[in-house]
Amino acid sequence: MTIDPQSTNTSDSAEEQKKNRPLTLTRVCVLSFIGSGFAVFGGILLTLFYNSILDFLILNESEDSQLLFDTMSQLSREYLAINCLLSIGSLIGVFFMWNLKKAGFHLYAISNILILGLPLFFGIGAFDLQGLIFISGPFILFYGIHLKFMS
């Protein structure tokens, strides 16, 4: 029986990467996978069914539906599509960081900063400073601290 040296190297490198990734980095990556995954899923649905959602909300006379309609009508399909694409970039960045690649940090950080500035670009609001301070900023900072584990 012969052992294929490539197959043992592959499993060794996978185990080595798993050993080298700190548990806290693993946990934050999982949280980012969940958050970015939901953002991508929601972005796809909102972009594809934009008109149907607006039609549904306008027919529903509840106060919550009207508030949601007012918010959704300010957003264009293009805004939602770009937001979804940036969320995909964020998700890919997390995947790279999961595999301990520094490029993932840069992709993640740029995608999330652009998401926060998207309302300003479309003229529907200001840069989301609260999102930066309380959500994206701490994640970017945490990933930046863990760059020493990435190649």
Q: What is the pLDDT of residue 125?
A: 81
Alpha-carbon distance of 117 to 29, in angstroms, equals 23
User: Which residues 6+ apart lie within 8 Å of 90 measured at CB?
Assistant: 32, 36, 39, 107, 108, 111, 112, 115
User: Is residue 126 classed as helix, strand or coil in its secondary structure?
Assistant: coil
Note the pLDDT tens digit of each residue in 60-89. Answer: 888 988 888 888 888 899 999 999 999 999
Q: How do residues 107-151 score in pLDDT, each as one tens digit? A: 999 999 999 999 989 888 877 788 888 889 999 999 999 999 999
> What is the structure's pLDDT at 15?
54
Q: What is the pTM of this model?
A: 0.81
Count other Cβ atoms within 10 Å, centred on residue 103: 14
Pairwise CA distance, residues 25 & 55, whole Å? 43
For 14-61, the pLDDT digits (tens) are 555 455 899 999 999 999 999 999 999 999 999 999 999 999 988 888
Quick one: average pLDDT of 92-118? Answer: 96
